[in-house]
Every structure is written in C-alpha cells, then in structure tokens.
Amino acid sequence: VISGCRCLTSAASSESARGHLHDQTVVVNALRKDQVLRGVTVAHIDENGHGVVGIHVRKDKQSFEFAFARTLPGERLNLIVEHARHDKYKKKEPGKYRLLLEERGAASLDEVTPRCAHFSEKCGGCAFQHFRYEAQVQAKHSLLCQRMEEYRLDRGGPEVPLPEPSPSAFGFHGRTEFRFFLRDGIRMGLHPVGNPVPISISQCHLHPEASHRAFQAVLDSVRAEARATAFDERTGRGWLCSAIFKASPHAVVKVSADDVSKIPEMEVLVTLVTIPGAPQEVLVRVAESVMSRCKDVVGVTWSDEGGEPASRLAGWRSLGREPQKLLAGRGHLTQHVLGVSLEAAPEAFSRPNQLLADAVASKVVEFSKAGPEDIVWDTFCGQGSLSLPLLLARGCRQLVAFDRSEPAILSLRRNTALHNLEAKVQVVQEDLGSPAFLRALAARLPEPLERLPGRRREFHRKEDKEDSEDEDDDDVEDSGARHRGKGQLVAGSSLPASMPRPDVLLADPGRNGLPKAFRRYIFDLQVPRLVYIGSGKAFLRDITLLVRRGYELQEVASFDSHPHNARLEVVASLQWNGVPEELEWEERMQRNREREQEQNHLAE
C-alpha cells in the first residue's frame, strides 16, 4: 500500500476546475479556511492519472473538482481547506479554494501492491501502478466517455466500446529513454515530475526484458570506458546525455512465464545521445562493447543533439537533433505489422505499445473502408506502418504519403521497394503545418477547394483561438524550413504538377494533434472518409472542430496503449456529410444555463 503524500491541488473559477454532480459528490453549504472534510470519496481519474473528488458548494451554486496524485477511485480521503476566497463584492463569481490531503482513509478495493520498487520514489514513469489493471481500463474508459460528453461528441454519435487492453501490463513499451548523470559514478535514470534531479533506475518493468538487458549492457559498457562522462546541464561539463532503447517484436511469439499473456521476442536498437563534440572513437568502443554484451541489440546509433560546441555553457540545451550516425551493427529495426515486414529508422515514430500494433493497424484498415479504386492520403506517415498494410490488404489505386522527417521518408521508400509498391506510392517530404506548402498543394488539385458558406462570426474566431492554446509554435508558424533537406528551399517544390484528391485520409499526428493550418485545410478538402488516430485533449479538440465544420463521427475504438497511465490511444472514423454545424451564440448560452440550473436543483 502506498503511503500518503501531502499533495497540493487548487481549483479556481475556471472551466477546467468545474465539475458535474455524481454519486460521489460531496455537497456543502460553504468552504472556509481550516475546514476539515472527512471521508470524501475519489470519484474518477483525470488526464494526469490523479484521483478526482467532487464538491458542490451551495453558496457558490457551483461544483468543483480537486485532483490529488496517487489516489484511486473508491478511496476515501480526509481533506482540509488551506485557502478559501469568496466573492466579497457580490459579483456572483464562484469562490476560489485550495485543499490539502490531510489523511488517507479507507483504501480503494482496486488497490494492489506495485511491482516496481521505484514507483514509491515517484520516478515519473507510471501514474498508478498500484491500480488493478482491469480497473484501470474501466476508469480510462469512463474518463474518455466523460470527456466526449463535455465536448458534446456524445450527441447522436457512436457508442464508445471498452478499450482493448494490452496483452501484457508490463514489457510493452516500444521506446524508453534514460538520462545519464553522475552520482557515485555514472548512473542512468528518469526525471521525476517537477524535479530536475534524476532518480537512479535499476530496472523498468514497462519495457521488455530485451530492453532491460540492453540497458544493463549500456550501463556496464559506459562505466568500463574511462573517458566516458555524463553531461551536466548546470555546469556544461561532460558530453553523454541519454540512451534510447527502441524494441520491435520478432515474428515468433513465446508464452510469458505467467502463462497469461503472450510477449514476443524483441530486438533492440540503442541510440546514444550526446552534445556536439563528443569523441567518436570512445562511442565506437562503447557500441562494440554493448553489442558483445547483449545479443538482443542489433545496432547502436549516435545522435548529436545539435547546436554549436561554443554554446555549451551552464544551462545549455539543444533545440533539435542532428541525423543519427551508425556506430555498430545495423541502423534500423525490423517491424512486423499485420504480417508486413517493415524497416523502421531510429528517428521515426513507432507505436508506444508494440503488443497492440497489429490491433491498431487492423482497426485503421477496417475504419478506412478503402476499395481498389480509392486514393489514400497518409499524412504524418512515418515509415508507413499504417498505410502500407492498408495498401496491401485493400489493393488501393494509389497512396500519397506525407511526412517532414527525412529518415522516416527514406525508410518508407525502402519499405515500398521491399514490397514492390513503387508504382502505387507517391512520397512527399514536406511540413503539413506550413501554410505555404498547403497553398501549393491546393493549387495542384484537379478542382479548387470549396470554402464553407457563410461569414465566420466572432465567436467562431474566439473558439479557434481557445482551441489552439495548447498547440506548439511549430503548428502555427512555418516550421518546415528547419526540417526540410538542404535542397528543398521552396515549400511545395517536391510536389508534382498535379495531385489527386483523396477518397480516404489517414491522420496520425503527434501528441499536440493536427497543426492549425492543416486542420483548416481538411475543413476545405471535404474528404469522404477520414481516419484519425490520436489521444488526449488534442484528439478531442480536433474531432470536435471537424464535426462542427461538416464531418460526422461514425465509429470510435480505443486501445490501452499506456498501461499504468491515464492515456488511451483512440481511432476515430469520420465521414463528410456536407452539413456544417452552425450553433448560434444564444443557443449555446441557453444550454449552459439549463445545465447549471439542473445541477443546482439536484444539489438542493
């Protein structure tokens, strides 16, 4: 059982802090400083994996939610009000409160003993390893349904089935990264949340056993090399930053020791990350030692983080990474997705859960409903782990693949040649977040894009601004210049004279979701079928905006790609219906008033 921690969480009068009435909501007349609330039940989890309690304050006529780390649904907490600020000037604004976790009461029925010894150190790898896995899946499904309801995606939309669980709750991670640091010699570890000092890790149960053997081989090899030294960001000394372990399953599958789940044999590719100016001869010796110590390692590459050596001052940190160099072995992994053998570059994206890669790809093929005469666009294609199995399974007429990563594009070209698909695949290395490239792409379509009818009202512009607050700067500015090759100086220069319009569009963007420019491009493109793979609030934001602009949400499937964390990987199928949803401002405000009146009535 995890010992209680003193967790500080505040809830202000913002939209994110407001909650809804449910069975576990505690109703109080008012909240005052030093007031103690005993036996408050944790209702659900949030996106960070924290337990959430709901309190309805009659004085404010408002429900609030407070999150506490490492608390589980069903657990009872004793809370104390540390800060309470009420509206003194009668402006009818809700109060602002801060609650502290004073004491843990009755434990959750789903609490179990965590497997990892580092979980109690809060290494940052897991949010709730002490949560029974079957209950994790249920809690994450409830969170997804709740968020879809808040984004109004449940009205007339499809039902959300239970997530497909991971075949194993451990040993699933396809990519793990550990930081080098000095503490009684060179060590490897993780950064806890909010703590700049790493925690030394002896074993991480999230990555497979092959990655752990490679982890130990790297640590032993670095310690055996006298000239190897870890980089310290505070002083600027040293040059060895981190080690990345990417694992990919073989085609042969064995049964794990617990005889419950099937865990495949893995091959591992190791990447040593350094600052500029690291001695290559030392890295070569380390790489050869790693290859000799661990037979699971198929290759070792070197990633120079970028920046000039003169910039290695105290607090220096790189802004991007240079292409990786091969130190020993081969510089790629071999993946098997739906029986299709693919080459994966170390820089390219891979699915977070290698045990669910086939399930996700199979669902994408099913949702696409692609036929022999369809043209498929694969945006953010990577090495083609989704689109090439789709092309081989459905025999589509043509595939157009977009990505800005040069290593991923090179892997995609080799994969298309491996399966004799060069005649059907057209590859475009460009940045889909660049408005200049999107304008060039639109100019090459056989028909001009149709703008949505009607003048954009003020509240539409406000919604777009609010929905883009969590996007990276790369999504707004033209970031393709620093990702294109040296010969590509003009956006769209790699495009042919004409481009076919897509019948099916696959979108598998990063964690920040679709770039704003490309999202607006999809509004105007009006693709008959769209398959979106994403997670978190960025996924909900993009799907909501697509539905408002004329797409209809048809099907949703989710996968528990991140056991012991709150994140789900979701695959959504959308269809263009040509009817943009135009909600008047007064109607939306009326809905909010009716919801608040209903909550107040239930509380009374």
The domain that contains 449 carries what CATH number?
A: 3.40.50.150
pLDDT exceeds cutoff 50 at 458: no
Task: Determine contact, residues 339/144, Cβ cutoff 8 Å.
Answer: no
In sequence order, what are the residues at sequence separation of 6 or more whose Cβ sits closer than 8 angstroms to the Cβ of residue 92?
none
Task: Find out whether 231 is annotated in a ligand binding site.
Answer: no
Using the 3D structure, point to which of 70, 90, 117 is the last residue of a domain.
Answer: 117
Q: Which of 58-72, 90-104, 347-361, 366-380 has the lowest mean pLDDT?
A: 90-104
Question: What does the pLDDT average to over 513-522?
Answer: 95
Q: Token pair for residue 402?
A: 């977009």
| pLDDT score of 513 more than 90 | yes
Using alpha carbons, select from 245, 234, 342, 375 the residue that is nearest to residue 301: 245
CA dihedral 36, 44, 75, 8 (to 10 degrees): -50
Does 166 map to a domain?
no
Question: Are residues 238 and 305 located together in one domain of the fold?
Answer: yes
pLDDT of residue 87: 66
Does residue 1 or residue 375 have the better pLDDT?
375
Q: Is 380 annotated as a binding residue?
A: yes
Q: Rg of the chain over CA atoms, in angstroms?
A: 26
> Which pLDDT band, with edges at 50, 70 and 90, does 449 fall under?
confident
* Structural domain containing residue 385: 353-586
Both 98 and 215 in one domain: the answer is: no
Would strands 199-200 and 240-255 be described as parallel, antiparallel, or unpaired? unpaired
Buried b (16+ CB within 10 A) or exposed e, 201-220: beebbbbbbbbbbbbbbbbe
**HSE on the CB side for 457, CA within 13 Å?**
8
Residue 340 lies in a domain: no
What is the spatial distance between Cα 560 and Cα 134, in angstroms, rounded to a whole number? 11
Range in 3-7, 428-432, 504-508, 596-600 with the lowest mean pLDDT: 3-7
Sheet holding 96-104, edge to edge: 8-11, 96-104, 76-85, 36-41
Dump pLDDT digits (tens) for 252-272.
444 444 434 455 688 999 999
**Residue 207 included in any domain:** yes
pLDDT tens for each residue of 342-358: 999 898 888 899 999 99
* Structure confidence at residue 348 (pLDDT): 83
Distances, alpha carbon 201 to alpha carbons 112, 125, 129, 214, in Å: 22, 11, 16, 14
| pLDDT (mean) for 396-425 | 94
Q: Are residues 366 and 244 in the same domain?
A: no
321 and 386 in a common domain: no
With respect to residue 595, please indicate whether it lies within any of the assigned structural domains: no
Three-state SS string over 215-240 comes to HHHHHHHHHHCCCCCECCCCCCCCCE
Domain assignment present for residue 273? The answer is yes
Residues 415 and 563 in one domain: yes
Name the amino acid, one letter, at 383.
Answer: Q
The residue length of the chain stands at: 604
Q: What local confidence, expressed as pLDDT, does residue 197 receive?
A: 81
What pLDDT was estimated at residue 321?
46
Tell me, yes or no, whether 451 and 532 share the same domain. Answer: yes
Residue 252's domain is classified under what CATH number?
2.40.50
Between these two residues, 363 and 312, which has the higher pLDDT value? 363
Three-state DSSP state, 381: coil
**Where does the pLDDT of residue 450 fall: very low under 50, low under 70, confident under 90, or very high at 90 and above?**
low
Residue 381 inside a domain? The answer is yes
Residue-wise pLDDT for 545-587, tens only, equals 999 989 999 999 999 999 999 999 999 999 998 766 554 444 5
* pLDDT tens-digit readout, 224-243: 999 999 998 888 889 999 99
Give residue 13's pLDDT. 30
Domain count, the chain: 3
Q: Residue 600: inside a domain, yes or no?
A: no
What is the pLDDT confidence band of residue 492, given thresholds at 50, 70 and 90?
low
Residue-by-residue DSSP string for 132-200: -HHHHHHHHHHHHHHHHHHTT-SSS----PPPBPPS-SSS-BSEEEEEEEESSSEEEEEPPTT-SS-EE
From CA 33, how far away is CA 36, in angstroms rounded? 9
Lowest mean pLDDT among 46-55, 241-250, 477-486: 477-486
- On average, the pLDDT of the chain sits at 83
Question: Does 184 appear as a known binding residue?
Answer: no
Structure tokens at 300: 């070792």
